[in-house]
């Protein structure tokens, strides 16, 4: 089963050992924001943002740099896993490169913030109702499930092939385990025998989608035009405080496998989108939550996940407000990687890893040249397979989902 037993969070914990510089940075930023409040600079900034945002924001617009950020996040996660596949040679001989690649797991909080932003951008509160929610869930299901299910089938097929090639008896997945995976329940049911190491994030994403849309539906039914404000301040913010305290292990999680410990990452993306769509109270909520996060970093723990999420949110706000031409995110290569980011994410950990493992049999990783060859084999095979899945499966799925009206 390859790398499915590896624990990403163990890597994150090791990266958090030396956080004094991060605490110093957090202290400086908190001090600056407090001074802004005292001198009323923040209100001036908000007024300037209000002056420009309404003319520039289209809820349905396709934001190219977000697409590029997806590509960056997918490549980060892929290289993180491939770095593990090349250990211990890479870590022993080129520790600097290995250390850089080992931070690739921070692509996950980037994905979470982007998901919060995009889902908030997609949802139309004016049309909110039971029929709208049903269609929303069906569209998301069509877009996600077909690619996901195919990746499960590929992972199982690769396991069978590995068993035949190595003449080893490998533990296969039961029908119930496959069904549990198909409905994104492996986290909630605390399934030990998981098919792929990346699927846990998809489980959290699906939980977020359902919680977000059903919470908005409830708020809309009870509070009508105030639904968004009520959701943000009565549900989103209190839950975000609980979420980060659980994430930082100050509070104990009530039930493992749920997405609530990661809610504050999705919520940060939601606030980024509301920052521009509605302004006012949402902008104040964004800055207030940013200060809270910095305070948690300063006085509790400067967690790399949180830092990556905050930098992602800050980047999105700056890009949306000032329309920076981030060509490195909007060139054809990055947009292409963004377009195949979902297939690349779900395929690389099994297909790419196993291809690299097979390559190492014939090209032992004992030199830099051999290491680069094995790495390129994993990357090229993963990208080609993702391209084919994008063309033959994902694009038709997206087209089909758009027919649900």
Give the model confidence (pLDDT) of 139-197 as tens digits: 999 999 999 999 999 999 999 998 888 777 778 899 999 999 999 999 999 998 899 99
Q: Which residues contact 376 (CB under 8 A, 6 or more apart)?
A: none
State whether the Cα torsion 185-189-195-199 is positive or negative: positive
Please choose, from the candidates 72, 46, 61, the residue with its C-alpha nearest in 3D space to the C-alpha of residue 326. Answer: 72
- Higher local confidence (pLDDT), 83 or 167: 83
Q: Which of 35-39, 87-91, 240-244, 386-390 has the lowest mean pLDDT?
A: 35-39
Record the pTM. 0.87
Using CA atoms, how far apart are residues 187 and 185, in angstroms rounded to an integer?
6
Side-chain-facing half-sphere of 263: CA atoms under 13 Å: 23
Q: What is the mean pLDDT of residues 73-95?
A: 93
Cα atoms in the Cβ-side hemisphere of radius 13 Å centred on 234: 12
SS3 303: coil
- Cα-based distances in Å from 118 to 113, 273, 280, 397: 9, 8, 20, 18
Give the burial class of 38: count Cβ atoms within 10 A of its Cβ; 0-12 exposed, 13-18 middle, 19 or more buried. Answer: exposed
Confidence of residue 31 (pLDDT cuts 50, 70, 90): low
Give tens-digit pLDDT for 334-381. Answer: 999 999 999 999 999 999 999 999 999 899 998 999 999 999 999 999
Q: Say which residue the tokens 């051999």 belong to.
A: 370
pLDDT over 50 at 308, yes or no: yes
State how far Cα 364 lies from the chain centre.
33
Which are the contacts of 111, defined by CB distance < 8 A and separation ≥ 6?
70, 73, 201, 205, 345
Burial of 263 (0-12, 13-18, 19+ CB in 10 A): buried
d(CA 94, CA 129): 56
Q: What is the DSSP string of 30-65?
A: HHHHHHHHHHTHHHHHHHHHHHHHHHH--TT---HH
Q: What is the pLDDT of residues 92-145, one digit of tens each?
A: 999 999 999 999 999 999 999 999 999 999 998 888 999 999 999 999 999 999
Is residue 1 scored above 70 in pLDDT?
no
- Least Cα distance to 204 among 265, 252, 155 occurs for 265
Contact 240, 309 (CB under 8 A): no
């Amino acid at each position: 089963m390859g790398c499915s037993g590896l624990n990403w969070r163990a890597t994150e914990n090791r990266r958090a050992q030396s956080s004094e510089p991060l605490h110093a940075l957090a202290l400086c930023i908190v001090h600056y924001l407090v001074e802004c409040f005292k001198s009323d600079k923040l209100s001036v900034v908000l007024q300037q943002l209000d002056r420009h945002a309404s003319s520039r924001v289209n809820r349905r617009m396709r934001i190219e740099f977000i697409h590029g950020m997806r590509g960056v996040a997918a490549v980060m996660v892929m290289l993180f896993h491939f770095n593990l596949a090349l250990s211990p040679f890479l870590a022993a001989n080129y520790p600097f490169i290995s250390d850089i690649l080992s931070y690739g797991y921070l692509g996950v909080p980037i994905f979470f913030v982007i998901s919060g932003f995009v889902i908030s951008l997609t949802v139309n509160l004016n049309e909110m109702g039971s029929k709208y929610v049903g269609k929303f869930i069906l569209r998301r299901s069509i877009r996600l499930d077909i690619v996901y299910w195919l990746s499960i089938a590929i992972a199982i097929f690769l396991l069978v092939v590995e068993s035949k090639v190595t003449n080893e008896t490998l533990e296969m997945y039961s029908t119930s385990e496959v069904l549990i995976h198909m409905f994104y329940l492996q986290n909630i049911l605390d399934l030990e025998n998981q098919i792929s190491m990346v699927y846990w994030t998809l489980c959290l994403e699906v939980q977020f989608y359902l919680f977000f849309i059903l919470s908005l539906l409830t708020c809309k039914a009870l509070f009508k035009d105030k639904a968004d404000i009520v959701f943000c301040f009565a549900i989103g913010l209190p839950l975000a405080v609980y979420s980060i305290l659980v994430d930082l292990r100050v509070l104990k999680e009530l039930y493992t496998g749920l997405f609530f410990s990661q809610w504050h990452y999705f919520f940060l993306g939601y606030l980024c989108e509301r920052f521009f769509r509605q302004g006012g109270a949402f902008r104040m909520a964004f800055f207030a939550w940013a200060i809270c996060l910095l305070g948690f970093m300063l006085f509790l723990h400067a967690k790399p996940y949180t830092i990556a999420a905050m930098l992602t949110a800050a980047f999105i706000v700056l890009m949306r407000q000032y329309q920076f031409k981030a060509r490195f995110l909007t060139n054809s290569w990055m947009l292409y990687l963004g377009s195949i980011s979902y297939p690349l994410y779900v395929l690389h950990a099994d297909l790419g890893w196993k291809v690299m493992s097979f390559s190492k049999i014939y090209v032992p990783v004992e030199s830099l040249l051999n290491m680069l060859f094995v790495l390129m084999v994993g990357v090229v095979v993963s990208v080609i397979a993702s391209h084919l899945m994008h063309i033959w499966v994902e694009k038709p799925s997206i087209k089909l989902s758009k027919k649900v009206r």
